[in-house]
Amino acid sequence: MRFPAIVGFSLALLFGGVLIPPAKAQAPDKFRIAGVIPLSGAWGIIGENMRRGVTIAIEERGGQVLGKPIEMVWEDTETSSQVAVQKATRALAQGAQTIFDEVSSGSTLAIMKLTGQRKVPLIVTLSADERITGADGNRYTFRTSNTVPMENAMIGEFAKRQSVKKMYGIVADYQVGREMWTALKADLASKGIAVVGEEFAPIGSKDYSIILDKAVKSGADGLALIVVGGDVVTALKQGGEINLPQKMKVMGTMLMDETLGQAIGPAGSLGVSSTLRYHFTQDTPRNKKFVAAYKAKYGELPSQYAGEAYDGMSWWLDTVESTKVWDKEKWVDAFRASVREDSVEGVKRMRSCENQAEQVGLFGTAVAGAEGGPAVTMKVVETFPASALFKPCP
Amino acid sequence: MRQVKHSEVLTVGVLVLLFAAAPFVTGDEGWLYLAALIMTWSIFALGYDISFGLTGLLSFGHAAFFGMGAYAASWAMLSAGLPFSVGIVAAIGAGGLSALVFGFVGRRVSGLYFSLMTLMLAELISIVMTTRLRHLSGGVDGLPGVPRPQAFGIDFFNAANFYWVIFALFCLTLAFCAVLKSSPLGQALRGVRQNAVRSEQVGFNVGALRLTALTLSGCLSGLAGALLASLMMYVSPQLLGWKMSGDVVIMTLLGGSGTPVGPVIGVTLVELLREGLSATTEHWYGLLGVIFILCTIYLPEGVAGLGRKLWRR
Amino acid sequence: MAALGSRSSSVLSCQNVSVRFGAFQAVNNVSIDLAAGQTLALIGPNGAGKTTFINAVSGRVSLAAGRIRLGDADITNVPVHRRAAAGLGRSFQIINIFDQMTVLENLRLAAQSRAFGWQPCWRPVSAWPALERRAREVAAMVGLEAELDLPVTMLSHGKQRAVELGLALIPDPKVLLLDEPLAGIGHSEIEPTMELLQQVRKGRSVLLVEHNMDVVDRIADEIVVMVGGEVLLRDRPSAIWNSAEVRRLYLGSEVAGHA
Amino acid sequence: MSTFVIGLSIAMLLFLLSAGLTLIFGMLGIINFAHGAVYMLGAYVAYQVAATTHNFWLALCVTPLVLAVVGAIIERLVLRPIYDRPHEFQLLATFGLILVLEEAVRMIWGLQLRSIATPPGLSGSVHVFGTDISKYRLFVVVFGAAMVALLFFGIERTRLGLILRASSNNAGMAEMLGVEVGRVRTAIFALGTALAGIGGAIAGPMLPIQLQMGFSVILDCFIVIIIGGLGNIRGAVAGALLIGMTRAYGQQYAAEWIDIATYGVLVVTLLVRPQGLFGIRLRTA
């Protein structure tokens, strides 16, 4: 009898504490940014890296823009687009001046509709779906990172340069994966590379060994592995069991980096090639500064997610600063016409026709790391110029 | 007994007043949004409790009714271009229909097997919608841009205006559940829960009553699904997933099943806890778990049950 | 006394009824007729198949063979609730009532099933005063006027028996199946319950399973003795008590003392 | 042939998890929704031991011991008060447990995906029957078969097994005969969690070790034990083989349809034989 009463009392206290709304600044005495990203669930680790990159971008400018302090609010989307939309709706309701979002293209596409309607700028630094700055694009949505067509073009070109003759495709069974594979197949055909087989695996498959076995037996010398999240690790780890990277050239988008290499282990990683959104070895002054600051704060080298997040956010904040006025429309206009001469990857140019950053494309291959460092590290083997990846704005 | 009844009416009244007063007390859209979310989930939980608290059918598959309602409304409004009101009706129909199918398929199993059966059926629907019906459901990406009502020149994309739509439907649902509980049907369902053998023997068609309860429950779940889709302007197959089913069971249990107040309290509690804990600590997730466990052990009748005990004292 | 052997006017007629549980034959080829207004007692040792037979008649178990007719209708494959609606009431050996309700709620609920085809859900049950009236009527009949608003769990065993009986009586059934209505009742309550049974059986046919032979003797018009799932004997009480077979069966039990 | 071996290895992993689940249900009457989280914890514990000592075999031995202790604590604190409650409360409590376990793992190991290196002798593949078969998979199959044999022997041929069965059939009677039912219950739950721990350790070199690994596997385990009949260990073996093979051959011939086929089979099973393919008919009413 007594215990329930105590529990109830503490619950009531919690209730009460929660019900009192914390003091919120409604007047624009702060520059509010809401980061709507996964901080738990399958992509929590990616979101965590993005958060770090953004944090550096804000700290770098003393936490201020236009003379106002930046208030950064993080909303955990739990790797669920449903939650992502819910959190974005709330962030908008609380009057954020900028939304920074998501890993998943699906979530970004949904959130874009909300931010576009509320005329709030949305900065995308990871979601790659073509529609974000294409068919579904709107004035307020900007992407500073790669697009799927861009990554596809790189894979096709890379396969050709590696003189792959026959390609096998293993594709995650979802919309973006299927669309990407269809486009890639067309590209490969135009380059004279035969597609000898394809397999669609449900997202979250716990066993790829059989599919990989089929790919090896197909006689293909190249494998396009278009899977996402934890499935990358499952597939490559099980590939390691049969020394897959030594049997065929494995390539894909976001398929390999230092983080994934650590989770997969050397057997499944070494020799795997992947597009890279960013790499810490980029030889630019801004990148050197960023890597130093990142190492000082977090004690490790920045991942590609952190690098891209940093780059997008610092570019946006610099642009806002440059307008010198508190006016969202002015910021958007300025960003649309903006050229980033000193991004971490060299020159990035915002394409005003679609709010998409035009930039170089990187391709890397996993190699054994130096003694004492991580066992697997990425080596940038190809850098594709922007002109090869983008058509000029009409 | 009488006193208990009074306490319930009082609590419901206070709750409704609180929700009604919210837009006047705070202009903060974030809080309004949270309140709208709580009311939407309350409709879901109230619907769930018709099946669970009233009739004793422990379903682990209510996400299917919720999600199908959301999709039915979205399809009606997005693809067919029908008005919001038709979308809502479609959602209620779709929720009820899927519940009818579940009930029919599961008519021969009961107890734990009924729970597992509903869980698996819902999972099946969720997988089919995610993979096979990708062109209809939008796949894992879902369908963005679910509309809100357009009527009388009121801008329902304004959070405060849409709030009143949800509030009205919430009140209607509360009233419906309260009347249902005291109606002949509600009494018959209570009878089925307490003693199915006796119910049959006094001439009730127990199978049909269970099916009716599940269908009504599905209708309200579908309604809630449509409101959530409209509130978030987004729908995805995650609404059909078993986490949703789990959430509604947990909220109903925490609040206390079998009363109109319990589910609403449960939803409010869980949502506010999530909100409050995630704002104050990184480890809110685990803390929520500890609270669930403590509540199971020490509050078998939910928070509403605790309230009843204190009231009687 | 009701006419003996008037098979043509029987309200309940069971022909060659068999019930099997796996390999076990619980009821074997039993034919029993119940005439209008007749009270028939079913006796026999434990495991004789009496309760199983009652379950077969009320529809709780399905038949392996045989037919059951209620009045003119063949109810062999009719579900329990429709048999009940057709005028077949029953009470259970172990008290079987709605245990989280008051007496009034119990009886009113029973009254509902006949009152509506589809149970309405748009108005409180109090909008139909006829239901409560019927509940009070039956409560008065079984002696529960004073306990109407009490939760049934607070009643004595005898009073709970009365609720059990009341639930069966609400629709005013033509045929009443009573499975040990005196089971677990204290000595002081036997006499009033007897009175109640006497009153209840007026104007309807009753099939009674009971172990208290004193009660059986006073109430039954006829007795059927069952052993091992089969009918051993059917006769007037006096003839039964004098039967050598029955004496052998009940040697040392209360029947022996009765002779 | 490689499909067959891979199918068997999936089945063995599923069996290790389902056996604990079905044991706990059959003997304690608890549906442990947190069983997947326990398996996840096992994988992390195994990772920690393997990463510290560089010895997979040590990890395989230590993990079940650690998990048994964790299981015993869980049983005492969380389950003991709710044995007599309806199933919905078990759902609530074990769901809370999932949240707590996940939080604990997140606090200790973070969000980073982890991996256990394949033990030296078992890395790479052997060439048999015209295909390459991973040596580690072969080990998993042999190890799993040994566990099945050990479990059957333990439950059906030893005194301990007798006590376990007696206490689950009739707790009151067992108590009269001098068995401390409370202790036996703790032991059963600890055994179940230890099995899940072994499963986690075994999975380490094959699957990414991450917070979600429990969620994705628990539904498969439910399917296994429903098909096999709740509480039936023999059924769990058969169910695990059936699902393992369905998954493997499904992957081979129609990867896109596996999930739908699995759930379809399950729903039909529930409809036609709700007691499971190998279950004793339970009273469903």
In a domain, B162, yes or no: yes
pLDDT at B29 over 80: no
Q: Is D54 left (phi over 0), alpha (psi -120 to 50) or beta?
A: left
Please spell the DSSP secondary structure of A47-58, one letter per residue: HHHHHHHHHHHH
**Numbers of helices and strands, H then E, in chain A:** 15, 16
Q: Which residues from chain B sit within 8 angstroms of residue C168, using beta carbons?
A: 201
| Sign for the pseudo-dihedral over CA of B219, B221, B226, B231 | positive
Indicate the number of domains in chain B.
1
DSSP type of residue C15: E
| pLDDT tens readout for residues A272-300 | 999 999 999 888 999 999 999 999 999 98
CA-CA distances (angstroms) from residue A88 to A92, A124, C14? Answer: 6, 13, 71
Residues A382 and A261 grouped into a single domain: yes
Indicate the number of domains in chain A.
2
Confidence of residue A271 (pLDDT cuts 50, 70, 90): very high
Quote the CA–CA distance of B95 and B173 in Å, as a whole number. 15
Contact (Cβ atoms closer than 8 angstroms) between residue A141 and residue A116: yes
Say if the Cβ atoms of D216 and A206 lie within 8 Å: yes
**Percentages helix, strand, coil for chain A, rounded to the nearest 5?**
45, 20, 30
Chain B: give the shortest CA distance to residue A368, in Å: 36
In a domain, B287, yes or no: no
Count the Cβ atoms, other than its own, within 10 Å of residue C195.
Answer: 11
Nearest to B250 among D92, D226, D263 (CB): D92
Q: Do chains C and A touch (3 or more CB pairs under 8 A)?
A: no
Burial class for A136, CB neighbours closer than 10 Å (0-12, 13-18, 19+): middle
**Percentages helix, strand, coil for chain C, rounded to the nearest 5?**
40, 25, 35
Contact (Cβ atoms closer than 8 angstroms) between residue A50 and residue A126: yes
Q: Which residues from chain D sit within 8 angstroms of residue A41, using beta carbons?
A: 211-212
| pLDDT tens readout for residues C68-122 | 999 888 999 899 999 998 889 999 988 899 989 999 999 999 999 888 888 888 8
Count the residues in chain A: 394
pLDDT of residue D84: 82
Q: Is A114 on the interface with B (CB under 8 A)?
A: yes
- Domain C90-172 = CATH 3.40.50.300: yes
Q: What tokens were used for D229?
A: 């009949």
Q: Which residues from chain C sit within 8 angstroms of residue B212, using beta carbons?
A: 119
Quote the CA–CA distance of A218 and A198 in Å, as a whole number. 10
SS3 A176: helix
Which residues are C91's β-sheet partners? C178
Confidence of residue D282 (pLDDT cuts 50, 70, 90): very low
Say if the Cβ atoms of D112 and A200 lie within 8 Å: no
Highest mean pLDDT among B30-34, B268-272, D34-38: D34-38
pLDDT of residue A370: 80
Which residues are A367's β-sheet partners? A377
Say if the Cβ atoms of D274 and B250 lie within 8 Å: no
Tokens 């087989």 belong to A197
Nearest CA in chain D to B195: D285
- With an 8 Å Cβ cutoff, the interface of chain B facing chain C consists of 1, 179-180, 182-188, 190-191, 194-195, 197-198, 200-206, 209, 212, 216
Contact (Cβ atoms closer than 8 angstroms) between residue A355 and residue A137: yes
Among the residue ranges A13-22, A26-35, A293-302, the one predicted with the least confidence is: A13-22
**Percentages helix, strand, coil for chain B, rounded to the nearest 5?**
80, 5, 20
Where in chain C are all domains bearing CATH 3.40.50.300?
Answer: 1-87+175-182+205-259, 90-172
Confidence of residue B220 (pLDDT cuts 50, 70, 90): very high
Mean predicted confidence (pLDDT) in C12-27: 89
Contact (Cβ atoms closer than 8 angstroms) between residue D230 and residue D276: yes
- Residue B229's φ and ψ, nearest 5 degrees, are -60, -40
In the CATH scheme, what is the code of domain C1-87+175-182+205-259? 3.40.50.300
The two beta strands, C205-209 and C24-35, are unpaired
More confident residue, A11 or D3: D3
SS3 A361: strand
Quote the CA–CA distance of A125 and A151 in Å, as a whole number. 14
Nearest to D95 among B127, B131, B250 (CB): B250
pLDDT of residue A13: 44
Nearest CA in chain A to B298: A4
Nearest CA in chain A to B234: A110
pLDDT at A50 over 70: yes
Among the residue ranges A19-33, A138-152, C40-54, the one predicted with the least confidence is: A19-33
Which of B25, B131, B140, B244 is best to mutate for the A interface (most A CBs within 10 A)? B140
In a domain, B181, yes or no: yes
Task: State the average pLDDT for chain A.
Answer: 87
Confidence of residue C252 (pLDDT cuts 50, 70, 90): low
Q: Do chains C and D touch (3 or more CB pairs under 8 A)?
A: no
Say if the Cβ atoms of D208 and A209 lie within 8 Å: no
Say if the Cβ atoms of A11 and B144 lie within 8 Å: no
pLDDT at A224 over 90: yes
Chain A: give the shortest CA distance to residue D122, in Å: 9
| pLDDT tens readout for residues C173-192 | 999 999 988 888 888 888 88
In a domain, A142, yes or no: yes
Say if the Cβ atoms of A213 and D3 lie within 8 Å: yes
Cα C205 to the chain's mean position, in Å? 10
Cite the DSSP H helix spans in chain A: 2-19, 44-60, 81-93, 105-118, 148-161, 175-190, 209-217, 230-241, 244-247, 258-264, 266-269, 285-298, 304-323, 328-336, 386-389
Q: Which stretches of D213-280 are assigned E, i.e. beta strand?
A: none
Within a 13 Å sphere around the CA of A304, how many CA atoms are in the beta-carbon half? Answer: 26
DSSP type of residue D30: -
The two beta strands, A31-37 and A98-101, are parallel
CATH number of the domain that residue A239 is part of: 3.40.50.2300
Residues A131 and A179 grouped into a single domain: no
The two beta strands, C39-43 and C222-227, are parallel
| pLDDT tens readout for residues D161-184 | 777 777 766 666 777 777 777 888
Tokens 């108005």 belong to C123
Which residues are A275's β-sheet partners? A253, A363
Say if the Cβ atoms of D263 and B113 lie within 8 Å: no
Share of chain D above pLDDT 90, in %: 38
Q: Is C167 on the interface with B (CB under 8 A)?
A: yes
Contact (Cβ atoms closer than 8 angstroms) between residue A241 and residue D136: yes
Task: State the average pLDDT for chain B.
Answer: 87
pLDDT of residue C71: 87
Nearest to C120 among B1, B183, B191 (CB): B183
| pLDDT tens readout for residues D45-85 | 999 999 999 899 999 999 999 999 999 999 999 998 888 88
More confident residue, A377 or D282: A377
Strand order in the sheet with A339-343: A64-65, A68-76, A31-37, A98-101, A122-124, A141-143, A356-358, A346-351, A339-343
Which amino acid, residue C26?
Answer: A
In a domain, B256, yes or no: no
Nearest CA in chain A to B228: A86
Count the residues in chain C: 259
In a domain, A14, yes or no: no
Domain containing A156 equals: 149-276+361-389
- Helix (H), strand (E) at residue C93: none
pLDDT at C166 over 80: yes
CATH topology of domain D2-116+142-272: ABC transporter involved in vitamin B12 uptake, BtuC (1.10.3470)
Within a 13 Å sphere around the CA of C66, how many CA atoms are in the beta-carbon half? Answer: 23
pLDDT of residue A10: 47
Q: What tokens were used for B23?
A: 């837009």
Q: What tokens were used for B204?
A: 């009730």
Residues A189 and A299 grouped into a single domain: no
**Which among C47, C135, C60 has a CA at the least distance from the CA of C92?**
C60
Contact (Cβ atoms closer than 8 angstroms) between residue A328 and residue A123: no
pLDDT of residue A40: 84
Q: Is C150 on the interface with B (CB under 8 A)?
A: no
pLDDT of residue A391: 84
Torsion of CA A222, A226, A229, A233, to 10 degrees: -20
- Helix (H), strand (E) at residue A252: strand A249-253
Nearest CA in chain A to B277: A18
Interface of A with B in 193-252 (CB under 8 A): 202-203
Mean predicted confidence (pLDDT) in D143-152: 92
pLDDT at B96 over 90: yes
| pLDDT tens readout for residues B137-160 | 888 788 887 888 776 666 666 667
Q: Is B116 on the interface with D (CB under 8 A)?
A: yes
pLDDT at A21 over 60: no
In a domain, A1, yes or no: no
Contact (Cβ atoms closer than 8 angstroms) between residue A329 and residue A337: no
DSSP type of residue A290: H
- Residue D184's φ and ψ, nearest 5 degrees, are -60, -40
Tokens 């009494």 belong to B187
Share of chain D above pLDDT 70, in %: 94
Confidence of residue A23 (pLDDT cuts 50, 70, 90): very low
More confident residue, B12 or A312: A312
In a domain, B133, yes or no: yes
In a domain, A4, yes or no: no
| pLDDT tens readout for residues A294-308 | 999 999 899 999 999
Domain containing B119 equals: 2-239
pLDDT of residue A117: 86
Quote the CA–CA distance of B107 and B91 in Å, as a whole number. 24
Quote the CA–CA distance of A336 and A349 in Å, as a whole number. 9
Chain A: give the shortest CA distance to residue B294, in Å: 8
**Which among D255, D176, D248, D226 has a CA at the least distance from the CA of D6?**
D248
SS3 C154: helix
Q: ipTM of the predicted structure?
A: 0.85
Which of A81, A127, A129, A138 is best to mutate for the B interface (most B CBs within 10 A)? A81
In a domain, B269, yes or no: no
pLDDT at D160 over 90: no
* Residue ranges of domains in chain D: 2-116+142-272
Say if the Cβ atoms of A7 and B145 lie within 8 Å: no
pLDDT of residue C256: 43
pLDDT at A24 over 80: no
Q: Is A264 on the interface with D (CB under 8 A)?
A: yes
Quote the CA–CA distance of C141 and A182 in Å, as a whole number. 81
Nearest to A117 among B157, B238, B299 (CB): B157
Q: Which stretches of chain B are assigned E, i.e. beta strand?
A: 143-144, 150-151, 154-155, 234-235
pLDDT of residue B116: 85
DSSP type of residue D114: B
More confident residue, B71 or C201: B71
